[in-house]
Chains A and B, each alone.
Chain A
Amino acid sequence: MIMEAIGLIKSYGEGSATVKALDNVTLQIEDGEFVAIMGPSGSGKSTLLHLMGGLDSITSGQVKVNGRDITTLKEAELARFRRKEIGFIFQSYNLVSVLTAEENVALPLLMDGCKESVMRENVGKAINLVGLDGRSHHRPSQLSGGEQQRVAIARAIVNNPSIILADEPTGNLDSVNAEEIMDLLSNLRNKSGQAIVMVTHDPKMAAYADRIIFLKDGRIIDEERLGGKIDQKKLVSKLKGSTN
């Protein structure tokens, strides 16, 4: 198990005006598992992802990554933990516009005071993995949406984190680009075994996952493990049509 959330509560406001964005959420993410979190808007999906990544304060409960409780970490420790253990991917890419693709990818390493030679090698590898060789000196504004998201993915994996947290990673992309980004993510997972937790409202994207967690009104209402429940041969013959 790579990550565990125990009794997570996030509330805003006080007294009778308290709004619970998350209400006692408990879940486990296994090593190398790809989990999608689905739910209507306002169900707490993004809040949950932010809490799991230490991006927001927790009202009560625990988040453990590799057995370590991150809720007790001080600000500076938490920042270091995030850079080392977690790769974030956002809907709006969140790239630094004045930096080139390569420099954006190098950022997390720079902040960790990584050696120049190691940095070059890791950045090169990450850029290659996301298929952006030859585009590495471009600025975000010179790249398409799909390419910008590739840069963001390279930046998320450059530190070789144990888990990737993605918030609607294909939300700004057209369907063909969205599919390419999802193929890339699931291939990366298969190659390097990183766990992925992805928030999405798009069932087409959630279908890439191994497991889906359904959230509603801040609570987990259901979950489903994907795969193995449908006979693929039957599906193919239904699609292709078989008279044999």
Chain B
Amino acid sequence: MSVKYGILAILSRRPFHGYELRQELEAELGSNWSVNYGQIYSTLDRLERDGLVIQSDTVAVNDAPDRKLYTITPAGQDELNKWFLNPVTKIDNLRDEFYAKVVLSLTSNVSTEDVLQIQRKAELQKLHELTRLKEEADPAIELPWIMQIDLAILHTEATMQWLNMCEARLRKLKDIYKQGPSVKVKRDGREIRPAGDTAADITKREEKQTARDFRRR
């Protein structure tokens, strides 16, 4: 997330000066989103240049130098609303290290099933700790913390579902090889060689097999 929208969101509540903005950001989002003052002020400069915030008054703070107070403009409010109401489309798992590991293991001498199972156990360990953290949290006063743990739990679950899918796909691939190349020979001797097995082909074959098994009973 860019600092830009964090600042706009905080300013949409009331005007703040730069120093307070940094504290508010950190209080709201946790220090994961921690930014230094330099970033705050350079972002504010850019926002001001683009007409999204304006400097209003300066506040005298004891004997410290006066601080500039920033206020969000209607254009800034529009920009913020747009951000809120647009989905996040960043797909960061495409460069996931584990993905690379699984794919590379397919053509290596380690068993991909082992790679998947080892990761599954690691994910379960993580889930276990996350679950403990959630059990220890107080739902009355730690709601944002619990929501963050929920998110981490569900991310972990998604990874584990992906592991299951990888395994299922490997199983299917093995079945395909077991059945040999899927070449059909017509009565007149012409061969029909499918270009490749699509998911639909595999499903259809499974359905036929199930129907055959069922009739056999």
Contact with B along A220-244 (1 / 0, CB 8 A): 0110101101101001100111111
Q: A230-B126, A241-B30, A241-B31 are in contact. Are A204 and B153 (CB under 8 A)?
A: yes
CA distance A214 to B123 in the complex (A): 14
Tell me if B157 counts as interface (CB < 8 A to partner A).
yes
Tell me if B127 counts as interface (CB < 8 A to partner A).
yes
Kindly list chain B residues whose C-beta atoms are within 8 Å of the C-beta of A236: 133
Contact with A along B117-134 (1 / 0, CB 8 A): 100010111111111111
Contact with A along B126-165 (1 / 0, CB 8 A): 1111111111000000000100110011001100100010
Closest Cβ of chain A: how far from B157's Cβ, in Å?
6
Tell me if A208 counts as interface (CB < 8 A to partner B).
yes
Kindly list chain A residues whose C-beta atoms are within 8 Å of the C-beta of B133: 232, 235-236, 239
Total chain B interface residues with beta-carbon distance under 8 A: 31
Q: Is the CB of B125 within 8 A of A222?
A: no
Q: Is the CB of A207 within 8 A of B124?
A: yes
Tell me if B33 counts as interface (CB < 8 A to partner A).
yes
Cβ-defined partner of B129 (8 Å) among A209, A224, A232: A232
> Considering residues B121, B123, B131, B160, which has the most beta carbons from chain A within 10 angstroms of its beta carbon?
B131
CA distance A235 to B32 in the complex (A): 13
Tell me if B209 counts as interface (CB < 8 A to partner A).
no
> Considering residues B129, B132, B156, which has the most beta carbons from chain A within 10 angstroms of its beta carbon?
B129
Kindly list chain A residues whose C-beta atoms are within 8 Å of the C-beta of B125: 224, 226-227, 229-230
Tell me if B56 counts as interface (CB < 8 A to partner A).
no
Closest Cβ of chain A: how far from B132's Cβ, in Å?
7
Kindly list chain B residues whose C-beta atoms are within 8 Å of the C-beta of A242: 31
Kindly list chain B residues whose C-beta atoms are within 8 Å of the C-beta of A51: none
Kindly list chain B residues whose C-beta atoms are within 8 Å of the C-beta of A131: none
Kindly list chain A residues whose C-beta atoms are within 8 Å of the C-beta of B123: 203
Tell me if B210 counts as interface (CB < 8 A to partner A).
no
Q: Whose C-beta in chain B lies nearest to the C-beta of A214?
A: B117
Q: Whose C-beta in chain B lies nearest to the C-beta of A176?
A: B150
Tell me if A30 counts as interface (CB < 8 A to partner B).
no
Tell me if A119 counts as interface (CB < 8 A to partner B).
no
CA distance A224 to B127 in the complex (A): 13
Q: A222-B117, A239-B152, A241-B32 are in contact. Are A206 and B124 (CB under 8 A)?
A: yes
Closest Cβ of chain B: how far from A183's Cβ, in Å?
6
Kindly list chain A residues whose C-beta atoms are within 8 Å of the C-beta of B126: 230, 235
Lowest 8 CB-CB distances: which A-B pairs, in order?
Answer: A241-B32, A207-B127, A226-B128, A241-B31, A207-B131, A224-B121, A207-B128, A203-B160
Binding site for A on B (CB under 8 A): 30-34, 117, 121, 123-135, 145, 148-149, 152-153, 156-157, 160, 164, 167-168
Binding site for B on A (CB under 8 A): 40, 179, 183, 186, 203-204, 206-209, 212, 214, 221-222, 224, 226-227, 229-230, 232, 235-236, 239-244
